[in-house]
Structure 1
Amino acid sequence: MFIRGLEGGIKRLSNLNVILVLILLFIVLLLGPTKYILTNTIESTGFMLEKYLQMSFFSESSFAQSWTVFYWAWWMALAPFVGTFILQISNGKTIRQMILGTIFIGSFATFIHFYVLGGLTLNLYERGVMDIPEMVKTIPSGRIALEALLTLPGGYFLIILYAFIATIFLCTTYDSCSYVLASTAMKHASKRPTKSLRIIFAFLLIVQPILIMSLEGIDSIKYILVLSSVPLIAIYTLMIFYISKNVLKN
């Protein structure tokens, strides 16, 4: 798939997955505790807006220190890849359109995803069907989502759909990453990367995570991301300064 490029591979799979995700969320909302999910969505949104600053700087919990900081570092480390890919697919679009599409629409879709699936699992916990906090300690977190879907009518069908969606998400991310890496290796940045370069980087993207995971598992990846993100802060600061300067000038 990755040798097909933007139009032939990434775009088609991404469009298909958007439809499949909407179908999955609609089914969960329809078959699950609909009233509870909608009520929880409104209440949690209000709570988030009210406590946004307080929660943003909350650091008393070991979870916040271990994972919130990790996700900050994660996006700092991924920013060059994500930014380059957005640039590749945004040719001809205005800055306003890019901000609307990448920040607001992406965030809105993420909120909907968490509202529906998070509302389902929270309801299962409150009704005593699933002890989510205890399950997080004893089983892989990915399995919790599967167990939650099994509580709904047609649960096995939903698991198959969920697995198919997750596979496509993995493929599009993998495809996009190999495409961007191949683009940066091109002599002329304006040209699309060759198929041979994309295949080489796709292979490297398979080998590198396996080697890292063989050391200390997920912790080794967290440490590498945090360390690699620190020097990028200075680079991002300069980029923001010069981009702002050029935008104001033009």
Structure 2
Amino acid sequence: MKNSAVGWVFYITIGILVLAVILGAAAPHVLEGVTASAQAFISERFGWYYLIVVSLFVLVCLYIIVSPYGKIKLGKPDDKPDYNMVTWFAMLFSAGMGIGLVFWGAAEPIHHYAVNSPTTDVKTPEAIKEAMRFTFFHWGIHAWAIYAVIALCLAYFKFRRGASGTVSSSLNVLMNTDGALGKSIDIIAVTATVTGVATTLGFGAVQINGGLSFITDLGIGFWIQFAIIAVVTVLFLISASTGLNKGIRILSNTNMVLALLLFVFILIVGPTLYMLNLFTNTLGTYIQTLPAMSFRIAPFTENAREWINDWTIFYWAWWIAWSPFVGTFIARVSKGRTLRQFTAGVLLVPPLVTFLWFSVFGGASILLESEGTAAISELAEEEALFGVFEHYPYGIAMSILAMGLISVFFITSADSATFVLGMQTSNGTMNPAVKVKFTWGIMLSATAVILLYSGGLQALENTMIVAAFPFSIIMIMMVLSLLKALKEEKPALQAEKERKKSRRNKENNE
């Protein structure tokens, strides 16, 4: 990093985050107040903007899949993928949703059903449909479109055009980003990444605490969460020292095995037919109503608008803040795939797995509540999953397995994030130095701890929404840069098409 202009991105971003950590430690209520005010302003004034931008990302992905540009390979024409399909999906899925799925798997559907429905009266059959439909919406195609567009931009310019791999380098088609402008863009991207990852790590620590409390009556509190983060930090720093092809690859596959065990167990011992019917019915209504949900802002109904701010806008901001990390990581492991294969794989396969997950765990929590067996909705969000396990065979064992899954997801996400942050602050190097990854690992944990200290989960959510807003503008520019670059490839694609046609004609004549 010595004498590297991009090295300033590392130092400046670390400086900004250290100041934020010091402020949060010295005056937690000030940090909470500032982030809450900024979050309220952005959600209220720019909710419409988030809905339109994220929907545009979906349309761009669909266009890439059906356009002739889909044949373009992320790399040289003879490049092969570095990872097989199963490992590739495991790595992008672990990075993309991980902790969030376990945290919200039972908690979000039961909230929409029993506490605050988006469109109807709570605890009614219609509320079940709406709870699942909007949960699918929040975790479906829109979320993965955000990841796909940034990953596609980074992978295309890195492997096709030989760019450095930083966010700013993907904008050189539009503007000169070699100077202060490029550094500013990368600083915004890195700050958004740290915020998004720290938020998710905070969710993980809170849920592990919730599971321990539910099983042992340990209690829920900041210092317990601090201890959890400290232990996991040591573990993911050890993993970070082993590199991409050892630590992250092994952990990603471990994630999938543990998640599959948990999923299959609940599917078998739970109301299997109910879950599968719920999945099928919700998938149909999700597809039918996707355009209407995509642009629903409820300008004339205050309660509905507040729900949209608290849930849909929150999620769109979360995915955007999380996207520099997930996008960079997915780009790194996707060399050799075509644009069509890459975009279709990222956009369509993970949402289907996610929908099945919510149908099983969300369906289980809703059925327990609707039949009067348990009051899952009265539990804290971090305890909802463990409340479901309590009413099934081997509930304690399943709770322990779930906490193990959260811990492995925690380690994988943090490990992957240190790798990505190392890349983005070391001029896009594919193998960032261990000491750089260690620095980012400690910074991620410190940020998560301070956000929890200054206001718990609400402070995490507020800060993330604020950080996502400026990066969303950069994402728009990245998409424009990609489309412009692809347009420049049109003559080459046309020439290749003519060569193939000529070759076929020649073979037919012979």
1:52 aligns with 2:273: no
User: Counterpart in 2 of 1:101?
Assistant: 345
Query: Secondary structure of 2:486's partner?
Result: helix
User: Counterpart in 1 of 2:116?
Assistant: none
1:243 aligns with 2:479: no
- Letter matched to residue 409 of structure 2: F
1:20 aligns with 2:258: yes
Query: Secondary structure of 1:129's partner?
Result: coil
Show the 5 A alignment for 1:1-250: 1-56=239-294, 57=296, 59=298, 60=304, 62-133=306-377, 135=378, 139-187=379-427, 189-250=428-489
The offset of 1:220, in angstroms, is: 2.1
- Letter matched to residue 55 of structure 1: M
The offset of 1:58, in angstroms, is: 5.1
1:93-128 CA deviation, whole Å, 9 max, x = no partner?
Answer: 222232133221211111111111111111111211
The offset of 1:200, in angstroms, is: 1.2
1:205-246 CA deviation, whole Å, 9 max, x = no partner?
Answer: 111121222222222222222222222232111111110121
Runs of 4+ in 1 over 4 A off after TM superposition: none
- Letter matched to residue 249 of structure 1: E
- Letter matched to residue 202 of structure 1: G
User: Counterpart in 1 of 2:156?
Assistant: none
Rounded Cα–Cα distance in structure 1 between residues aligned with 2:395 and 2:355: 23
Identity %: 28
Unaligned runs of 5+ in 2: 1-238, 299-303, 490-510
Q: Which moved more, 1:52-61 or 1:237-246?
A: 52-61
CA RMSD of aligned residues (A): 1.7
The offset of 1:13, in angstroms, is: 0.9
- Letter matched to residue 12 of structure 1: I
The offset of 1:61, in angstroms, is: 5.1
- Letter matched to residue 348 of structure 2: F
Work out whether residues 376 and 387 of structure 2, in 8 Å CA contact, stay in contact via their aligned partners in 1.
Answer: no
1:124-169 CA deviation, whole Å, 9 max, x = no partner?
Answer: 1121112233x1xxx3212111010121111111111111111111
Rounded Cα–Cα distance in structure 2 between residues aligned with 1:152 and 1:58: 39
Work out whether residues 452 and 459 of structure 2, in 8 Å CA contact, stay in contact via their aligned partners in 1.
Answer: yes
1:42-77 CA deviation, whole Å, 9 max, x = no partner?
Answer: 222222223323333154153322121111111122
Unaligned runs of 5+ in 1: none
Change (3 A) 1:191 1:20: closer
Rounded Cα–Cα distance in structure 1 between residues aligned with 2:309 and 2:387: 28
Rounded Cα–Cα distance in structure 2 between residues aligned with 1:75 and 1:116: 23
Change (3 A) 1:230 1:89: same
Change (3 A) 1:142 1:218: closer
Bigger Rg over Cα:
2
Query: Secondary structure of 1:217's partner?
Result: helix
Rounded Cα–Cα distance in structure 1 between residues aligned with 2:348 and 2:396: 33
Work out whether residues 376 and 388 of structure 2, in 8 Å CA contact, stay in contact via their aligned partners in 1.
Answer: no
More helix by share: 1
Aligned length: 245
Change (3 A) 1:62 1:131: farther
Q: Which moved more, 1:28-37 or 1:221-230?
A: 221-230
- Letter matched to residue 131 of structure 1: A
Rounded Cα–Cα distance in structure 2 between residues aligned with 1:146 and 1:219: 22
Rounded Cα–Cα distance in structure 1 between residues aligned with 2:432 and 2:441: 13
- TM-score, normalising length from structure 2? 0.46
